[in-house]
Amino acid sequence: MADWFVKLQNALPQHGLSRAIGKLGSSKNDFIKRTFIEQFARAYKVNMAEAERSHLGDYESFNDFFTRALKPGARTISQRPDAVVCPADGAISQLGSIQGDTLLQAKGHRYSLTGLSGSLSAGFADGEFITVYLAPKDYHRVHLPFAATLTHTLAIPGALFSVNQSTEAGIEGLFCRNERLVCRFDTAFGPMLVVFVGAMIVASIETVWPEQTSPYRQEVLTNHDQTPFSFAKGDEIGRFLLGSTVVCCFPPGAVKLKKELRAGTRVRMGESLGDLIQ
């Protein structure tokens, strides 16, 4: 099944299909948006009780619904000063040590940090990483794990394979092949990476600062040093139109992830993933 699924995605017009669905998702036509929203909410059992706008009819389009905000207090941001918090709702795909320049993608598969983040990869060899997969039913805004200042972004064009257990096990270097936005921050413990990884049907990656919106036509490095954007722990930094994956990387000797975290563990934005190493 995994081989068949991978071959199918290789044959599909990934970008054309994703952008076509993205256009439908942005439609304000009452029939289109109502059909998309109601069918999706029913199929994935979306919890609207925690949404800022709890009625399905309150949304201008499917994309507006998909990137819905939460009610104040729906998530608690850990206030312990040394806590590093989860950037998104979802499930942990993998986590652990960066072995030299490589990270674990799935059992038997590793990929290159340099391949993932290009020129922004310096300073993370032998550090720690955590990968969070956002399922369709999840809240799809991404938040900052620790107080930080944005210094650089790198938009990287690529494929749009879906991201799930089948493709992680069947596609070598999956995250290095998909479209992605690499965000490098300065923190009290050193540099930090937050990487938005696009996927099949992901119509857009958006940020709260001015940034080109995907699809990315060419690799673009942006230096934000002259106009830095500073954020508190837990601040929203971006969102996916339809879901994918966020990879966070920390430098060596900076962060100790919780021992009880495992691949498959469900996590929620704002909960502690670990602590700074004193």
What is d(CA 253, CA 251) in angstroms, rounded to the nearest whole number? Answer: 6
Residue 143 annotated to the active site = yes
Say whether 126 is catalytic: no
In this structure, the number of other CB atoms found within 10 A of the CB of residue 203 comes to 25
What number of H helices and E strands is found in the chain? 7, 17
Catalytic annotation, pick one of 18, 89, 138, 140: 89
| Burial annotation 59-68 (CB, 10 A radius, 16+ → b, else e) | bebbbbbbbb
**Does residue 109 carry a catalytic annotation?**
no
3-state secondary structure of 77: coil
Catalytic: which of 93, 121, 166, 244? 244
Catalytic residue of the set 18, 61, 121, 143: 143
In sequence order, what E strands does 135-209 have?
141-143, 148-156, 180-187, 190-197, 204-207
**How far lies 95's CA from each of 2, 99, 131, 250, in Å?**
23, 12, 6, 11
Radius of gyration of the chain (CA): 18
Q: Which residues are catalytic?
A: 89, 143, 244
